[in-house]
Chains A and B, each alone.
Chain A
Amino acid sequence: MAQVLVVTSGKGGVGKTTSTAALGAALARQGDKVVVIDFDVGLRNLDLVLGAERRVVFDLINVIHGVARLPQALIRDKRLDTLFLLPASQTRDKDALTEDGVAKVIEELRNTFDWIICDSPAGIERGATLAMRHADAAVIVTNPEVSSVRDSDRIIGLLDSKTAKAERGERIDKHLLVTRYHSGRASRGEMLSIDDVLEILVTPLLGIIPESEEVLRASNIGSPVTLSNPLSAPARAYFDAARRLKGETIAMNVPVENKGIFNKLFGRKAA
């Protein structure tokens, strides 16, 4: 049965798009059929992070307005044939996204995909509420930092009140994904620890993504980190998170970079 997942955070710049791409690719690599949808109308970026920016012809708004059919707008990933992208449009008209239109698109995608991952824009406006509207489950991306934690708390409140599932009296599954985590700084008391964040937000933990230069390198080359360097620490953390999404029980840890002896001696300094 198809799962509709929203990747959300409230605050911008915490890693929603990076995480959407990495989790989508991780699930697709395990053989699941995955579509990632960019809901950030006017400021689309998921296409760029996936390296598909030059292949966008039609977008979500075109499908909603009947300019294109859904299969015409879906872009198949060049590396993984089970991963698809439905891009956002670059129009400035935010009202182009209609509630009915989004509902129809998601309904149609449910027939063919195992995972429908909605990449939410930052904020709590229309785009963000429509991205979470039809979700069965949510991944709340949080940095161990006060403003991000506060905004996540706000988003959790919205997930529990404004989604279709919540309005039907059902519970939406919520998963916390802590990104840009630095174990050393947390243990020295310089950064909120995982326990601090969990105690404050009271939401089950999906994964801990360590701060890593691999994440920027991946977006530079237009590839999800789970494909660009699957053995890197952040990629392994995303693979574990993807398996937890599928219901597997995996011990929670913060992966560290495995550096060979050559890299240890001559490699770049680790962050």
Chain B
Amino acid sequence: MSVFKLFRRGSAPVARERLQILLAHERAARSQPDLLGVLREEILAVISRHVAFEPDKVQIKMDRGRSVSTLEVDIEIPNGIGLVLARAS
């Protein structure tokens, strides 16, 4: 960004790059709708089998980059309640 400023370049290259990244993801998502929703449900289902937590203490963040994306799952587990071990079936 500072390079653009230094040479008094406009903001269009930034717009172009942001669009290219965003649209690459949106086009991919069209064939696989609501990837984030599916991931959230399945991850929570797995964890809730082993740990008790409140659904609204779960934060899921997605950061999409050009070559790598990160999915951040942050689950607050209350102390004291501890781990509820699933009964072996």
A residues near B (Cβ < 8 Å) are 145-146, 149-150, 153-154, 157, 185-186, 188-193, 196, 199-200
Can you list 17 A-B contacts (CB < 8 A)? A145-B15, A146-B15, A146-B19, A153-B26, A154-B26, A157-B27, A188-B10, A189-B10, A189-B13, A190-B10, A190-B12, A192-B12, A192-B15, A192-B16, A196-B12, A200-B16, A200-B20
Interface of B is mostly: helix
**Which residues from A are CB-within-8-Å of B23?**
150, 153, 200
The 6 A-B pairs of least Cβ separation, nearest first, read A189-B10, A190-B10, A196-B16, A189-B12, A189-B9, A146-B15
Interface size class of B (residues with CB under 8 A): 10 to 19
**Which residues from A are CB-within-8-Å of B13?**
189
Interface positions of B from 1 to 31, Cβ below 8 Å from A = 9-13, 15-16, 18-20, 22-23, 26-27, 30
Indicate if the CB atoms of A200 and B12 lie closer than 8 Å: no
Minimum CB–CB distance for B10 against chain A, Å = 3
CA of A128 to CA of B12, assembled, Å: 30
Indicate if the CB atoms of B11 and A189 lie closer than 8 Å: yes
Q: Which of B12, B26, B30 contacts A186 (CB 8 A)?
A: B12
The closest CB in chain B to the CB of A185 belongs to: B10
Indicate if the CB atoms of A150 and B22 lie closer than 8 Å: yes
Q: A146-B19, A150-B22, A196-B16 are in contact. Are A190 and B27 (CB under 8 A)?
A: no
**Which residues from A are CB-within-8-Å of B9?**
189
**Which residues from B are CB-within-8-Å of A200?**
16, 19-20, 23
Indicate if the CB atoms of B19 and A150 lie closer than 8 Å: yes
CA of A190 to CA of B13, assembled, Å: 9
**Which residues from A are CB-within-8-Å of B20?**
200
The closest CB in chain A to the CB of B18 belongs to: A146
**Which residues from A are CB-within-8-Å of B15?**
145-146, 192, 196
The closest CB in chain B to the CB of A149 belongs to: B19
The closest CB in chain A to the CB of B20 belongs to: A200
CA of A199 to CA of B23, assembled, Å: 12
The closest CB in chain B to the CB of A200 belongs to: B19
Minimum CB–CB distance for A140 against chain B, Å = 14
**Which residues from A are CB-within-8-Å of B10?**
185, 188-191
**Which residues from B are CB-within-8-Å of A150?**
19, 22-23, 26
Minimum CB–CB distance for B1 against chain A, Å = 13
The closest CB in chain B to the CB of A146 belongs to: B15
Inter-chain pairs besides A150-B19, A150-B23, A157-B30, 16 sampled, C-beta below 8 Å? A149-B19, A153-B23, A154-B26, A185-B10, A189-B12, A189-B13, A190-B10, A190-B11, A191-B10, A191-B12, A192-B15, A193-B12, A196-B15, A200-B16, A200-B19, A200-B23
CA of A153 to CA of B20, assembled, Å: 11
**Which residues from B are CB-within-8-Å of A146?**
15, 18-19
CA of A190 to CA of B18, assembled, Å: 15
**Which residues from A are CB-within-8-Å of B22?**
150
Taken residue by residue from 46 to 62, chain B's Cβ proximity to chain A (1 for < 8 Å, 0 otherwise) reads as: 00000000000000000
